[in-house]
Structure 1
Amino acid sequence: MSRDSLTRDQIVSTAIRLLDEEGLDGLNMRSLGKRLDSAPTAMYWHVQNKDNLVRLAADAVWAEITLPDLTTMDWRTAAETMATGMYEMMNRHPWLVQAQASYLLYGENKSRHDDHVLAVYDNAGFTPADADRAAAAVFMFVLGNSVGAAANISLRRRLSAKGGDPDAKLAEALESATAVARHFPRLRARIESATVTGYNESPDTSFEFGLGALLDGIHRRLTTEKTA
């Protein structure tokens, strides 16, 4: 494919698929050009460099989050909907969590999302300063909960690169971690409890529980301020 027949959107969408499959370390202009049947120099023509390509790819995936209609939805439901949408998006694209810590990320889709989040808390009656704090608290909660899945994928890639079966290596490490944990009473009780599915495994409801608790606290703060 010639440089002139390529588009930035084609490059970015292909980069997202490559990032989803191979992570940040797997993204380079040579591998991207191979997928597009184009010379690596054509990538540079359209996206400048890898840093800018990651920025464009990151901004593109923020458009996947549905922005709720704030005229028909109460603020609490809207906040929960957007936080859940962000969490699901980050789990679809685990490289984004790592990119947050190592790249300068910004763009129109991210800004549109952030503006809508602030509108949720503005409409609820928060002061601008408290709306900023609420939005930041929820963002960091979602980001923190997305780290586990991203780290697990990164770890599996690293173990695979070293050769051998990554599942077997993880199972061996888990067995060793469980043996260490048994020396501590509360951890031992949970390991031995019939209601626990496995040591070091977060329940599927952990995200929902934590988000609900966080929004409960934000709601109480709003109620207290309105009655003060």
Structure 2
Amino acid sequence: MPRDTLTKEQIVRTAIELLDDEGLDGLNMRSLGKRLGAAATAVYWHVKNKDDLILLAGDRVWEEIDLPDPEAAGWRTAATALATGLHAMFSRHPWLVQALGSHLFHGPGKARHDDRSLAVYEAAGFTAAQADRAAAAVFTFVLGNVLGASAMVSLTRRLSREGADAEALIEDTMIRAREVAMDFPRLRARLETPMAADYAAAPEQTFMYGLQALLDGLEARLAAGSA
């Protein structure tokens, strides 16, 4: 594809697809150009470099999050929907979780989300500074919840690129981790009873539990302040 037929929108959209498939390490201008059917040099007419492209792609995916109206839905329902949407977005794009540690993201997509997040907590009755802290606390909880899954995706890709049997290595590690856990009474109790399957699935099952517990705490602070 000649450079004059390429658009920045096409480049960013294709970069997101490549990042989803290959992760941060798999993104380079040559691979991107191949997906676009264009020379790598043509991409540079629209983006400065790889880091610039990651920032553009990283901001664009924030637009996938639906923004609930706290006035119509109620702040608690809106906060739950916003956090759930953020969690789903991070889960679809695990490379973004990794990139947050090496890039300072900014742009209209993220700003749109952040502005609505503040609106949700202000609608609850938090002052401006309190709303900042409440929104940051929920964001940090969501990010922490997806770190494990994101790291597993990155590790699996790295092992596969190195020619290792990623599935076998991870399974072997889990077996050894179980052996270590058997020396600790509470871990052993969970692994030796019917609770074992639920215990292994805990990250998936506890996101909403933790989110609601966090919102309970914020709501209690509001009530205490009113009292």
Task: Please report the TM-score for the alignment, with normalisation by the length of structure 2.
Answer: 0.97
Aligned ranges 1:43-122 → 2 under 5 Å: 43-122=43-122
Match of 1:153 in 2: 153
Q: Once the two structures are aligned, what percentage of the paired residues are identical?
A: 59
Deviation at 1:203? 4.8
Match of 1:124 in 2: 124
Deviation at 1:165? 2.4
Counterpart residue type for residue 83 of structure 1:
A
Deviation at 1:198? 6.8
Aligned ranges 1:158-169 → 2 under 5 Å: 158-169=158-169
RMSD: 1.2
Deviation at 1:37? 1.0
Distance 1:203 1:60 in 2: 27
Any conservation in 2 of the 1:178–1:199 contact (CA below 8 Å)?
Answer: no
Any conservation in 1 of the 2:33–2:39 contact (CA below 8 Å)?
Answer: yes
Match of 2:14 in 1: 14
**Which structure dedicates a bigger proportion of its chain to helix?**
2
Counterpart residue type for residue 53 of structure 1:
L
Classify 1:187/1:61 alpha carbon distance in 2 versus 1 (closer, same or farther; 3 Å).
Answer: same
Match of 2:176 in 1: 176
CA deviation string 1:71-128 (max 9, x = no partner) = 3110000000000000000000000000111112111010011000000011111111
In structure 2, runs of 5+ residues without a counterpart are none
Q: Secondary structure at the match of 1:109?
A: helix
Q: Secondary structure at the match of 1:204?
A: helix
Equivalent residues, number? 227
Q: Secondary structure at the match of 1:47?
A: coil
Deviation at 1:193? 1.5
Q: Secondary structure at the match of 1:207?
A: helix
Distance 2:199 2:174 in 1: 8
Distance 2:139 2:95 in 1: 17
Task: Please report the TM-score for the alignment, with normalisation by the length of structure 1.
Answer: 0.96
In structure 1, runs of 5+ residues without a counterpart are none
Deviation at 1:195? 1.9
